[in-house]
């Protein structure tokens, strides 16, 4: 079973950029849907973006046009390029993998494997 492993978080000023990486440990993301979710302490987990097994991508309205999710099958990696970052993007970002049906791609409960998370902090 593939285990996502995130990296790339950090501290950035508002308007800046970061790229998060998610490595497929113990397997590959081929054939799976891999997504990014985020969570702020005391708040519910929030969908950010996902890329399905067929390459189709989906985004939360709050990040559309600023974030881009991509996959490199050869490197067994999924990336989240985050541009024009805002203080409200501050959160722990989690990579998740699974086989959700189309109607559930934004539902974290539909993903089977989760990474440990990486902190993103955007200062104003």
pLDDT in tens, the chain (124 residues): 799 999 999 999 999 999 999 999 999 999 999 999 999 999 999 999 999 999 999 999 999 999 999 999 999 999 999 999 999 999 999 999 999 999 999 999 999 999 999 999 999 9
DSSP 43: S
Is residue 24 exposed (0-12), middle (13-18) or buried (19+ Cβ within 10 Å)?
buried
Per the CB < 8 A criterion, the answer to whether 111 and 32 are in contact is: no
pLDDT for 1 equals 79
Output the CA torsion sign for 118, 34, 40, 80.
positive
DSSP secondary structure letters along 8-38: --EEEETT--EEEEEEEETS--TTSEEEEEE
What is the 3-state composition of the chain as percent helix, strand, coil, each rounded to the nearest 5?
A: 5, 50, 40
- Count of helix runs (H) and strand runs (E) in the chain: 0, 11
């Amino acid at each position: 079973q593939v285990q996502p492993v995130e990296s790339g978080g950090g501290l950035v000023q508002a308007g800046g950029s970061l790229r998060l990486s998610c490595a497929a440990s113990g397997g590959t993301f081929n054939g799976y849907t891999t997504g990014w979710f985020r969570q702020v302490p005391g708040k519910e987990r929030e969908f950010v973006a996902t890329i399905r097994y067929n390459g189709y991508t989906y985004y939360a309205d709050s990040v559309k046009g600023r974030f881009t999710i991509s996959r490199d099958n050869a490197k067994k990696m999924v990336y989240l390029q985050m541009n024009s970052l805002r203080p409200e993007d501050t959160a722990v970002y989690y990579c998740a993998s699974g086989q959700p049906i189309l109607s559930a791609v934004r539902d974290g409960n539909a993903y089977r494997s989760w990474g440990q998370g990486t902190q993103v902090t955007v200062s104003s």
